[in-house]
Amino acid sequence: MVKLTTLCENTAMGMGYTGEWGLSVLAESKEETVLLDTGFSDSILRNSVTAGVDLKKINKIVLSHGHSDHTGGLRPLLQKLSKKMDITAHPRVWDKKYTARSTGGSSGYRFIGIPFCKEELEGLGASFSYSKAPVWLNDHMVTTGEIPMVTPFEKIDKNMLIKTEDGFVPDPLLDDRALVIKTGKGLVIILGCAHRGMINTIIHAREITGIEKIYTVIGGTHLIRAGKEQLEQTIAALKDFNVEKLGVSHCTGLPPSAVLASEFGENFFFNNAGNVVEL
Ligand SMILES: [Fe+2]
Ligand SMILES: [Fe+2]
């Protein structure tokens, strides 16, 4: 059995949980305990206490990509764990990531990459390994590696940039990936932000594992800025895949979430901080 506990998400699921813009999901199985992302700051430390899960059991961290709302919890987490920790990521996770979007009245470029230097995290116990390809963590958990963009309706957010010697250039988000779990009921796919497309991610997960059946998809879908057409085509693809359970989070946004909720009915849920899924 695999138990998924969402330790950081924009919205608190219930009393005692802290909502924080970001995502972190703990996947516990008999063999090991894997943490996908760490949220933006230290909400995972408080939320793990409320959820009654022991972070010391974590033996691998998977980074879905290098944005700060998924990596900002690394420092407080490593300080708390105080042990060597394997962290698997794509080599481009350290790109100098920025957004061109204005927030809170301020405009211009805003840094949204990993808010620590590698050496500091290594000093706290982090042991990074990098791969562009899928990484099998055990016989039933795999990271997707780079996700090919094959659907005509999914595009990378134009406001996502990288600062280079030649100035700001579009971020291809090659580091974007998901965690995939093989279960008896089909694949369970945990998305970080799905910057390269939720449907592209599902297609790639099927190819990597050779398993067609999609049981559950949870996490950030980045539909927050999708137009009507992309949302409609995404819904059509999810229905075509016969996704049994859909638990959206984070960068899905409330209006697209509401549309998904009405389309998927009792198979839909909000995957917020404190939500538990047992597989
Ligand atoms: Fe995010
Ligand atoms: Fe992101």
**11-48: pLDDT as tens digits:** 999 999 999 999 999 999 988 999 999 999 999 999 99
- Residues forming a β-bridge with 186: 183
Q: What is the mean pLDDT of residues 173-183?
A: 98
Q: What is the mean pLDDT of the chain?
A: 96
pLDDT in tens, 196-218: 999 999 999 999 999 999 999 99
Ligand nearest to the CA of 67: 2
Cα 163 to middle of ligand 2, angstroms: 16
Nearest ligand, CA 65: 2
- Angstrom distance (rounded) from CA 257 to CA 13: 15
Q: Which ligand is nearest to the CA of 69?
A: 1
* 112 Cα to the center of ligand 1, angstroms: 10
State the ligand closest to the CA atom of 252: 1
Q: Look at residue 102 and tell me whether its pLDDT is greater than 80.
A: no
Interatomic CA distance for residues 41 and 126, integer angstroms? 17
Q: Point out the ligand nearest to the CA of residue 112.
A: 2
**158 Cα: distance to centroid of ligand 1 (angstroms):** 15
In the structure, ligand 2 is a single-atom ion and the residues with CB under 5 Å from it are: 67, 193
How far apart CA 227 and CA 213 sit, in angstroms, is: 27
Distance of CA 221 from the midpoint of ligand 2 (Å): 10
| CATH value at residue 112 | 3.60.15.10
On the 0-12 / 13-18 / 19+ scale of CB atoms within 10 A, 176 is buried
The DSSP secondary-structure symbol of 222 reads -
Which residues, in sequence order, are CB contacts of 233 under 8 Å at separation 6+? 151, 153, 199
Q: For 169-227, where are the alpha helices, taking DSSP H only?
A: 198-209
Identity of the residue numbered 207: E
Q: Work out whether strand 141-143 and strand 179-183 pair parallel, antiparallel, or are unpaired.
A: antiparallel
Q: How far apart are CA 42 and CA 44, in angstroms?
A: 5
Burial 21-45 (b: 16+ CB within 10 A, else e): bbbbbbbbbeeebbbbbbbbbbbbb
Residue-number span of the structural domain to which 187 is assigned: 3-278
Task: Report, as an integer, the average pLDDT of 212-239.
Answer: 97
Query: Within a 10 A sphere around the Cβ of 182, how many other Cβ atoms?
Result: 19
pTM for this structure? Answer: 0.97
- The number of beta carbons lying within 10 Å of the beta carbon of residue 187 is 23
Ligand minimally distant from the alpha carbon of residue 37: 1
The residues placing their C-beta within 5 Å of ligand 1, an ion, are: 69, 193, 251
Per the structure, the count of domains in the chain is 1
Q: How far is the CA of 238 from the centre of ligand 2 (A)?
A: 21
From the CA of 160, which ligand is nearest? 2
